[in-house]
Structure 1
């Protein structure tokens, strides 16, 4: 029986890269044998080794986030670093199930065609000039960020195909030397507007909700509501939405400034969609209810997760989304698996004193008497560390807790510190073409060369830091956040 097995035929799954995986394992083992600090218990040190190994594996693309999470849970439980109960404790967090429920909304938005209808109508109104077409993509992202809680879903599933169609309508195609007619500008504008919109609403991105939970694990007691989040994001986001496309326009000037037939093109697209359907109207109604309850939920003691469950129930009960469609969307369950594991590890690192130890080391090197100066330094460091990460989520998960602890110990305002770090993690994703999933999608289309992408990303980063720290801090002071 054993002899009949062909061991030579056994190969690693194509999604597993052996060399990067071995490198990450080696790094984890080396950390285990490094003498631990006195203030960190042995289990905490081993947990840090496993966590870093997982981060490295994900950053190198050795394995998927889901598989990395299971590997981490297996190692941590079989070595008794943590108990099985602790390993799966974060799957009981409401925020994870809020994300699952909210993603059901995105299925409805996409399935009914409501997202495309909104986008086509906007482009029809203001897309005659190339700069206007760019701003139509910006407005699409703003509206869709209210409707779809996944930045990757709304970008890759709705806005990217529209940006590609627009580029071709301007006569800008890949491979024939016409990329700079409009495609280069439109692709970069669409991508960067997605990054800005990710922090506009509390539910615009998974990371926003994750930040609230991780901050609570660090002992943060201040509660940030849906309305407070939007109010804080309003002015800096609005400025960024206006300024960033202009910067990209000057860095990547489109060769075609105007297109006369955009109205006819969008009319054709709308004609293909047909008149607004009953399912679209019902989708609008359901979404309005959910957003309204999210806004007033804090006043009527209604948890945001409970509201998300209500939205899911209505969508499935009315047939807008079938149970099979909901359970069959693998992205939701992939997200649930790795997010629960990462939340658990981040929480345990804090509980075992690892985050406190890391923060004390970093604080020694960037100590200043001014919490404002410390905040600026931390934000800059976190922003440009994204060059080392191939995932926004991995970047955020690896750095958020440590940097938030540093800011809080320096006396920086709690809500401001948390909100800034969330924004920095999202905005810095545009530095490179590999900084997040949708970046890879836009880059792989071929309209933007790597050198230009990185150049624009760096120039835009300066504007983002000035806006989010400069204008942001003034705005939050004005509205009484600190």
Structure 2
């Protein structure tokens, strides 16, 4: 009788646990036992975030418990991530996203741009891009933005006679690709556009002494961002040309949906005022002294006081609480390993062969390795947690100006989301619409990755040298 094969779940857990067990017990040069143990748990956690044998919150909660149970860190230290301002900034941003969705302000924004810009297939692509752009400052998740914009684009495609299958090239494939690629592109524009951006800012400050404030982030990304948003819909239009050129039906459809929504409600107006004041507070933070998290929590308090968001609705926001649960321990582990010098030991060995290179060439190699390493990740935050500290530390040691290294890796941490159909949370949202085959998704993703690298590594440093590196 043949031996039973291991189930996929058993194989996934084996992939996760075996490297961790080896690291936990095997000596690693220059690492103390507690450093090695924390590294082992961290590596297994990152692998679990990629392989997904269980929900992210479950995996990270188990990891935090193991850290305390094995005595790797005291319990108070294992729980310290929950006191981080970065964690609460991200939590607050998810509540803003909830308010945008519940009040239907997000739908109104998307339909508005389609009604005004949707006369042709290309202009419809720019309408999708504009929707992602406007939502990005206060929706800190490409998945959440995809949840707003993707269903609208799918409905528009169906109205225009484009369904998955034989008619997908009519316009549905183009709308799917432009919605996806401008969604993650929007993540790079603001500190609050993606859940991992505040984590990047913390690493940059702790490791390289570079401060990435909300205003500096917006200033650093505005020029290359404008170029990208101008070019990407047009490039996608030429890579996957839609068969349908005139799309007046889409405008009529969007106008009908706006009529159904009616005039701005009291809640939407109140939300707009609060969001404006929050963004104003982030911009002026260097002058009034209140940090980004304080401003965000003030905005959340205003949402609750004005009943735009009710307490029971806040408690029911599973996504926000889930992020709080898994992000805090992950941040704690990365923080602790950075403070203990674990990352320094690792990148000294891993990148030693680049020593002596002129720093521009060393930075180019590090940037390409960091960018295309995302083929192996299913989460932007997982890659940021695992690789950003090591690559930033290596760049600084190799003589790269710290600010240039921090900004380069920061933007690449978002732009690499376009490579695959599993690269980030919004990728499955768009891919499962079945308008685009996997081979097309990957080939288009690679071409767009080269375009993004050319824009952001070409124009980006020139612009940064003018406004933030001096």
Same fold at TM > 0.5: yes
Matching residue within 65, 72, 92 for 2:56? 65
Say yes or no: does 1:135 pair with 2:123: no
CA distance in 1, matches of 2:355, 2:239: 37
8 Å CA contact 1:17–1:63 kept in 2: the answer is no
CA distance in 2, matches of 1:282, 1:172: 38
Matching residue within 177, 180, 200 for 1:188? 177
Q: Give deviations 1:310-347, integer Å, cap 9, x for gaps.
A: 11111111111100111110111110111111111111
In the other structure, the counterpart of 2:167 is 178
CA distance in 2, matches of 1:181, 1:224: 43
Q: Give deviations 1:19-73, integer Å, cap 9, x for gaps.
A: 2012211121122343311x21111111111111111122112122211111111
CA distance in 2, matches of 1:368, 1:136: 48
Specify whether residues 217 and 65 from structure 1 end up closer, same or farther in structure 2 by C-alpha distance, changes over 3 A only. Answer: farther
Deviation of 1:368 (Å): 4.3
Matching residue within 164, 167, 175 for 2:154? 164
CA distance in 2, matches of 1:337, 1:463: 36
Aligned length: 464
8 Å CA contact 1:359–1:405 kept in 2: the answer is yes
Say yes or no: does 1:79 pair with 2:70: yes
Say yes or no: does 1:380 pair with 2:368: yes
CA distance in 1, matches of 2:67, 2:137: 38
In the other structure, the counterpart of 1:257 is 245
Moved more, 433-442 or 347-356: 347-356
Say yes or no: does 1:391 pair with 2:379: yes
CA distance in 1, matches of 2:212, 2:336: 23
Say yes or no: does 1:197 pair with 2:200: no
In the other structure, the counterpart of 1:233 is 221
Gaps of 5+ in 2: 1-6
For 1:146, what is the secondary structure of its paired residue?
A: coil
Say yes or no: does 1:481 pair with 2:466: no
In the other structure, the counterpart of 2:86 is 95
Matching residue within 463, 467, 473 for 2:451? 463
> What is the TM-score with the length of structure 1 in the denominator?
0.93
CA distance in 2, matches of 1:405, 1:478: 24
CA distance in 1, matches of 2:466, 2:407: 16
Matching residue within 293, 303, 313 for 2:291? 303
Q: Give deviations 1:169-222, integer Å, cap 9, x for gaps.
A: 2211013x101111111111111101111011111111111111223332x333
Please report the RMSD computed on the Cα atoms of aligned residues, expressed in angstroms. 1.5
8 Å CA contact 2:160–2:249 kept in 1: the answer is no
CA distance in 2, matches of 1:282, 1:194: 26
Matching residue within 16, 21, 28 for 1:36? 28
Q: Give deviations 1:236-291, integer Å, cap 9, x for gaps.
A: 11111111222211111111111222222111101111111111111111111111
Q: Give deviations 1:433-468, integer Å, cap 9, x for gaps.
A: 011111011111101100000000111111111111
Q: Give deviations 1:389-427, integer Å, cap 9, x for gaps.
A: 111111111111000101111222323322221221211
CA distance in 2, matches of 1:277, 1:54: 44
